[in-house]
């Protein structure tokens, strides 16, 4: 068993007793990366010199009275759309292949404050646009469970690296399911916190009203530790929530007796793989056996979520990506005779096909004569989707369902069919539109590939989400399964 399969508490005991050192943990991480990453392509850039220097510094604190961070000594990976000082942040795009940030994102600072060791930057769909990991301008990421299948996206490297045991945990970003869907496909835990709970300062923006950074881990307890370390108000982020932060670890009681759980009939209807549905029904039986009450409800506007999301997200992407013009930062074309050529050719050469598709869709939706018909109407439907959740949460503690309608599909299977690709996020998108928290936890297998159970909570009620996830995890063994690379 890898030491990365130990719980955080057990790992810290080994560090405290000097059975292990941080340097040894970091060395194990880099050795594992060298051993398997050529197969899965999870990492884009390693930060080995700084990581080993940090590890040596932390080793000097072992056995002293120096205060310990919650994530002391743990090797971590960071998605490559989260900026890191002195380490390129490319968003897996040719456009930013030479971008070397001069500051750390707030979440990276928080990781350092918690004394985690960041070992490198993780692969992703370009500018976080995609649900398979195939839109990376560098190379597609592969699923550790089956190298012929996708790991999900856009946080493809973040999920694959944790599943493959390359790092202890990772950070990803979730705009329409980009943490939870790859967590589901790779058989790990992935959480999207409430919008505004985790600072977005230093996250390269895709859709600013939807983006949220969150953790990917091997178990729910570790997820709570990482979440505790990265939440909190940030004056550098104007959308950061000023709220009291609870102790998330205290929510991990294992007790869900009397808890009311809603099961939307729309989440178990047409399009859901029969084996996925069977795994979710088995999970429901487990929770009912623990004393929870599960009842069917309706979220009637869910069917409009995909169309609403792609209009709003693409519109915001069109606005956010206008800053990439070949003038201020990023790669500039060598093929230009005037300023318009600089704009046109830099963007044509720098952006991949999926990014261009979303920019064009968003620009169209925002254009004069179409704004009211598309963007404004989508905003109104977003309000209805949020109201559906509000109505359900008036009577229930959490909402339950599959994370994704199917297990991971094969590489190349949906590249030529963007609409089918977009529908893979049909169960995760409503959560981002409503700005509420959700987690994906392993709940079994379908066709030899992992299946995720999605647990959705009220705004700022991550504690209830973690409580249910942890109770389910304690009653099952799914999270202990590991891929054989």
Catalytic machinery residues? 79, 154, 178
49: preceding bond cis by omega (within 30 degrees): no
What backbone torsions phi and psi does residue 18 show, to the nearest 5 degrees? 65, 20
DSSP per position, 331-348: ---S--SSHHHHHHHHHH
Give the chain's end-to-end CA distance (angstroms, integer): 14
CA distance 22 to 54: 9
Spatial CB neighbours of 166, under 8 Å, sequence gap ≥ 6: 29, 32, 33, 36, 37, 42, 43, 77
Rounded Cα distance, 365 and 372, in Å? 9
Closest CA to 127 of 309, 343, 350: 350
DSSP H or E segment with residue 143: none
Measured in degrees and rounded to the nearest 5, phi and psi for residue 129 equal -105, 95
Question: CA 143 to CA 374: how far, in whole Å?
Answer: 36
Phi, psi of 456 (to 5 degrees): -115, 140
DSSP 155: S
Spatial strand order of the sheet with 212-217 comes to 43-46, 117-122, 75-79, 169-174, 212-217, 189-192, 438-446, 449-457, 398-402, 260-264, 293-297
Burial class of residue 143, CB neighbours in 10 A (0-12, 13-18, 19+) = buried
- Residues 477 and 139: beta-carbon distance below 8 Å: no
Classify strands 169-174 and 75-79 as parallel, antiparallel or unpaired: parallel
Rounded to an integer, what distance in angstroms lies between the CA atom of residue 331 and that of residue 313? 24
User: Do residues 294 and 280 lie in contact, with contact meaning Cβ atoms separated by under 8 Å?
Assistant: no
What lies within 8 Å, CB to CB, of 70 at 6+ separation is: 114, 225, 228, 229
Segment (H or E) for 137:
none
């Amino acid at each position: 068993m890898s030491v990365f399969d130990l719980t955080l508490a057990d790992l810290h005991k080994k560090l405290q007793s000097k059975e292990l050192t941080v340097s040894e943990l970091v060395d194990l991480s880099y050795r594992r990366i060298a051993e398997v990453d050529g197969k899965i392509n999870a990492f884009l850039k390693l930060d080995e010199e700084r990581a080993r220097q940090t590890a040596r510094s932390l080793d000097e604190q072992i056995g002293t009275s120096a205060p310990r961070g919650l994530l002391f000594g743990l090797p971590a990976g960071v998605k490559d759309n989260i900026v890191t000082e002195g380490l390129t942040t490319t968003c897996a795009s040719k456009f930013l292949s030479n971008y070397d940030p001069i500051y750390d994102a707030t979440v990276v600072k928080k990781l350092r404050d918690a004394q985690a060791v960041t070992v490198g930057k993780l692969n992703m769909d370009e500018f976080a646009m995609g649900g398979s990991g195939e839109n990376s301008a560098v190379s597609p990421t592969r699923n550790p469970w089956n190298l012929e299948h996708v790991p999900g996206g856009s946080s493809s490297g973040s999920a694959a690296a944790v599943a493959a045991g390359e790092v202890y945990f990772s950070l990803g970003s979730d705009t329409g399911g980009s943490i939870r869907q790859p967590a589901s496909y790779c058989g790990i835990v992935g959480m999207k916190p409430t919008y505004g709970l985790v600072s977005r300062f230093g996250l390269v923006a895709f859709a600013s009203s939807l983006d949220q950074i969150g953790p990917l881990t091997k178990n729910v307890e570790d997820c709570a530790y990482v979440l505790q370390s990265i939440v909190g108000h940030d004056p550098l982020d104007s959308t950061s929530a000023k709220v009291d932060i609870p102790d998330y670890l205290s929510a991990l009681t294992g007790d869900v007796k009397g808890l009311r759980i809603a099961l939307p009939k729309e989440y178990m209807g047409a399009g859901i793989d029969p084996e996925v549905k069977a795994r979710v029904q088995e999970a429901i039986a487990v929770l009912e056996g623990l004393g929870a009450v599960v009842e069917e409800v309706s979220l009637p506007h869910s069917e409009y979520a995909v169309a609403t999301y792609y209009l709003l997200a693409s519109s915001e992407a069109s606005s956010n990506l206008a800053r990439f013009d070949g003038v201020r930062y990023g790669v500039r074309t060598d093929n230009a005779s005037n300023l318009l050529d600089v704009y046109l050719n830099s963007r044509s050469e720098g952006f991949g096909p999926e990014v261009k598709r979303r920019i064009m869709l968003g620009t169209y939706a925002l254009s004069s004569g179409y704004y009211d018909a598309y963007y404004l109407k989508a905003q109104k439907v977003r309000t209805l989707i949020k109201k559906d959740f509000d109505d359900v949460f008036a009577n229930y503690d959490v909402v339950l369902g599959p994370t994704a309608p199917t297990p991971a599909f094969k590489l190349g299977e949906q590249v030529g069919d963007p609409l089918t690709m977009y529908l893979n996020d049909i169960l995760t998108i409503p959560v981002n539109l409503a700005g509420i928290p959700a987690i994906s936890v392993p709940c079994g297998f379908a066709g030899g590939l992992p299946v995720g159970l999605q647990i959705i909570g009220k705004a700022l009620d991550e504690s209830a989400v973690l409580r249910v996830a942890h109770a389910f995890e304690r009653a099952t063994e799914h999270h202990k399964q590991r891929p054989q690379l």
